[in-house]
Amino acid sequence: MRKTVYLLAAVVAFALPAGCFRQDVRTLEIRIPNMASQDCFKIIQSALNRVEGIVSVEPDIPNRKLTVTYNSTKVGVKNIEYVITGLGFEANDNPGKTDARERLPADCR
């Protein structure tokens, strides 16, 4: 009986933490009007890949949109938009930081 209790306690101890860290992977589409080239996308991709919770970043350069797949338990929409606007790019209706925009390549302004 005692072995059964210890075994059950061990199983619960190992199984419980796995359930506490459930991932909530979502997809977000962001309009980026000044993402005019692959170079612009690479700047954004590089910054977003350093953010914990970002799963993937896919460009749609002709339509100037970005599709971001992310774990919403680690990063939120506003955080993603903040990173992009901090680079100088407009993200949805959020304007890019003016001083950062000036440092972007000409085709990304």
Whether 1 maps to a domain, the answer reads: no
Q: How many domains does the chain have?
A: 1
CA distance to 2, 17, 32, 33, 64, per residue, from 108 (Å):
68, 45, 10, 9, 11
Whether 86 maps to a domain, the answer reads: yes
Whether 3 maps to a domain, the answer reads: no
Domain that holds residue 103: 23-108
Beta-carbon-side half-sphere exposure of residue 59 (alpha carbons within 13 Å): 19
- Residue 70: which CATH number? 3.30.70.100
**What pLDDT shows up at residue 3?**
56
> What is the pTM assigned to this prediction?
0.79
In the chain, DSSP assigns E strands to 25-31, 54-60, 65-71
Whether 8 maps to a domain, the answer reads: no
pLDDT in tens, 8-46: 555 555 555 555 567 799 999 999 999 999 999 999 999
